[in-house]
Chains A and B, each alone.
Chain A
Amino acid sequence: MNALTLWFHRLGSPPTFYAFADRWRPWLLWSGLLLALIAAVWGLAFTPADFLQGESYRIIYIHVPAAWMGQFVFVLMAVSGFVALVWRIKVAEIMAIAAAPTGAAFTAIALATGSLWGRPTWGTYWEWDARLTSTLILLFLYFGVIGLYRAIEDHRKAARAAALLSIIGLVNIPIIQYSVYWWNTLHQPSSIQVLEARSSIDPSMLWPLLIMALATKLYFGWAALTRAQTLLLEQESGKDWVRAIVTASAAKQGDMA
């Protein structure tokens, strides 16, 4: 077994995963916040206005990273769900469900900011076009996964049901991606082709977008690890390693008081 495989196996153990999350959470949060601030200031104040859309294109710096994250997180949930269903790894079950609220938040941001971009650009807040409708379905799928998990009392059964729904819902991702090519939509085709490393955006406008995309991923890492830690503490509350963490946390709170 090589070192990477061994590391993944170790990470499957709840106490190891909890310690790993504890080590990485502050780095992910602060670096994500710093990069988001840099990208927002750069995008709002130091990039030129678009020759066709004027200033309104500046919404791109939050709309596009949020839309990417909405889809990326759902794929991640489905992969974690698949691992959880096939290998019955508790940490994978937990990661699949821990990712959902932030994924839903990003999808809601993509829809709301897209709507606010649409008004000055297209003259309407909403159109039942293929890209917008399939993204709205993605938001409902997130709500479905979260709702299903909360509706079933047994945590492990709930996680497996939610994992199955996220795998089924995965079919919506290529529909969102290719909707602008398959149907005659109001939404423009992708300006950036990630797989082909090609972009039609000028580099002076592109960098803040890429930095914001990285910032949203770092923030997502923090949020998913924080929620995964909460779910692990809840599900393993009778175990010794949780008791040790709770005692240490209470002592720390006592010191601070």
Chain B
Amino acid sequence: MTGQEFSMSHWPFITAAYGVFVALMLTDFFTARAGRSRLLRELAARQRRAKQRAAP
């Protein structure tokens, strides 16, 4: 194997490594963001229900 062939055979590993990085970072990003948005929606719904119960 020539030096260039040796180097080129590394790209599938590099692509897979960057793919893992992007996939795990996106998972972390969306999990963190979704948790906050979901809780805010839940608390808003709870607040609305409490207001409806309190109304005459």
Contacts and interface: CB of A to CB of B under 8 A. Distances in A.
Do these two chains interact?
yes
A49 B11 CA distance: 12
A246 B44 contact: yes
Most chain A CB within 10 A, of B6, B9, B29, is at B29
Interface string A86-116: 0000000000000001100100110011001
Interface of B: 3, 6-11, 13-14, 16-18, 20-21, 24-25, 27-29, 31-33, 35-36, 39-41, 43-44, 46-48
Contacts of A223: 28-29, 32
Main secondary structure of the interface of B (DSSP, over half): helix
B14 A233 contact: no
A18 B27 CA distance: 24
Contacts of B10: 54-56, 120
Contact of A58 (B3, B8, B14): B14
B17 A59 contact: yes
A55 B7 CA distance: 5
Contact of B40 (A40, A59, A108, A246): A246
Nearest to A115: B17
A120 B43 contact: no
B17 A62 contact: yes
Contacts of A58: 14
A117 B24 contact: no
Interface in A242-257: 242-243, 245-247, 249-250, 253
A109 B32 contact: no
Contacts of A105: 24-25, 27-28
B21 A54 contact: no
A41 B21 CA distance: 14
Given A54-B3, A105-B25, A112-B20, A59 B13 contact: yes
Contacts of B6: 54
Contacts of B24: 105, 108-109, 112
Interface stretch (A5-13, A147-155, A224-232): A224-232
Nearest to B44: A250
Interface string A48-65: 010000111011001100
B12 to A, nearest CB: 9
A120 B13 contact: yes
Closest 4 CB pairs of A and B: A54-B7, A56-B10, A250-B44, A113-B17
A17 to B, nearest CB: 14
